[in-house]
Amino acid sequence: MADTDEAAINLPAQDAGAHIEVDLSDETQDFRMLNSISFLTDGSQTSLPKRGEKDFEPNPTLFQADILSASRQAMHNALSYPRLHHPKHHVTGVYAPNGPTPPRSAQTIETTISEESQAKKPATTEVGVPAESCVYISAPKGQLFKTIGQADRWNRIWLLPEEALYLLERGSLDIRWPCSEVGDGDEDGTEDSGIPMSLQAAYAAFMGRSGLTSERFSVYTGLRRLGYTITRAPGWYNEEEGADVSESEQTSLMRQQGPGLAGIFGRFLQWLYRPDEPTTALGPVAGLGFHRSYEEIYRKLSIIPWYDPTTAPSPAPRTTPPYRVVFHIYKPSTPFKKSAPPVPDFRIAVVNARTHTTFPLLSQLGALLESTPLDPPTERMSRQLYMRLRHGYRNVILAVVDEGVVSYLRIADSAFGKEQIYKEKNVRGNKGPPRPRPKGR
């Protein structure tokens, strides 16, 4: 009976497909094809094959167990193959744990700066080089460094932790430990010791440095692989500002703020309970008097206060982490210059779905949107109502990271009250004048 069942399981895939619909994305990938790659033996081939169809059923049989074991072993063999740098594109960087420092040749010349002050303030006053940079490259090669890193006066490219880890992970950079880390050389740590840094050691050294988290790095690497240019936003550095604001304080701030998205509810309550102004509860909704046009009637019917995003709140509301813009994103087609970055195409706030399981409050979203500059609809969108409302006057993208899976949610600051539909004319085109309807049924 066991042989009969196993023989039935081992039928060809086309026979079973006629009775059961199987989602191939939910099955296990067969990696036995990796055994036929020639680079595992002679090193002549360096490219992996394309993904094939998945061929496994969730049945505990000896046949499937043998296939799974062979597939795992083939994947282990492929991953154990050493990743080598091509000599023409080999780029070497040096890990500088103390931050940006001058080279040793420059340190001997600059006698006005003492060694004690350099140890206390490792970040120099180099223009454009962030103090959080921790890896420098003396001889950069390739197109990646047009949008990654900042150069100092000695033509060295300094990399931020996420930039260095991304280049090391994709195999475009070889990071070496400094001499001070292995007990040789001076304490400045600006010389190559010749010992390469592994990917595991790079994660230990860079992750958690200057606010870099696994969620932020997942968003950074995902967008980088898609061709986008990414830079840090000012919200990256003020992580602790406003973190102690309780929910009751946020509710009071929401009611105190006048203009702005967060204060619309409070202004509606103030309008509802104002006894000193006339009300339409005891008379016509449009008010008394003569009305000579429908536009005048519609204007009087606008009795509920609406939100105007063009009016900036004063003072500006405080943002609370993680609802802060931490990344500025530029499209691949956007001309980018590191010395003078253009206006970003997108602004992204990174949220950890494991620690923030509820939807953000209205005050948090309002403060997040109002922390961005005004971006009204363009002239091309002015003719289409849906595009104007969809674009809004301010917009932010929330990158929600759930154990490495990133979901992007766009939040726009629309102004429905500014769209006065009654003023738009009904254009009939070439249909001619309206005809009277025939009488009868």
Distance, in Å, from the CA atom of 66 to the CA atom of 122, rounded to the nearest integer, reads 57
| CB distance 300 to 286 below 8 Å | yes
pLDDT band at 339 (very low <50, low <70, confident <90, very high): confident
What pLDDT score does 64 carry? Answer: 77
Most confident of 29-33, 43-47, 204-208, 412-416: 204-208
Q: Write the pLDDT tens digit of every residue in 234-272.
A: 999 865 444 444 444 444 444 444 445 545 666 655 555
**Which of 350, 299, 355 lies closest to 325 in space, CA to CA?**
350
CA angle, 106 then 109 then 111, to 5°: 115
Q: What is the largest CA-CA distance in the chain?
A: 104
> Using alpha carbons only, how large is the chain's radius of gyration in Å?
31
The mean pLDDT value of the chain amounts to: 75
pTM: 0.68
Residue 338 DSSP code: T
Q: Who has greater pLDDT, 318 or 168? A: 168
Give me the sheet containing 192-196, strands edge to edge.
Answer: 150-151, 157-159, 135-137, 92-95, 174-178, 192-196
- Higher confidence at residue 420 or residue 53? 420
- Kindly give the pairing relationship between strand 327-330 and strand 229-232: antiparallel
pLDDT at residue 127 greater than cutoff 70: no
Given a cut of 70, whether residue 358 has pLDDT beyond it is yes
Of 117 and 129, the one with more pLDDT: 129
Q: Which of 313, 324, 314 is nearest to 347 (CA)?
A: 324
What's the token pair of residue 20? 């059961």
Secondary structure (H, E, C), 220-231: HHHHHHCCCEEE
Report residue 300: phi and psi, to 5°: -75, -20
User: pLDDT at position 307, please?
Assistant: 78
* Range with top average pLDDT, 19-28, 109-118, 229-238: 229-238
State the pLDDT at residue 378.
Answer: 80
Mean local confidence (pLDDT), 298-322: 78
The per-residue pLDDT for 190 is 62
Model confidence over 8-63: pLDDT tens digits? 445 554 444 444 454 544 455 666 666 665 554 455 545 555 555 555 555 567 87
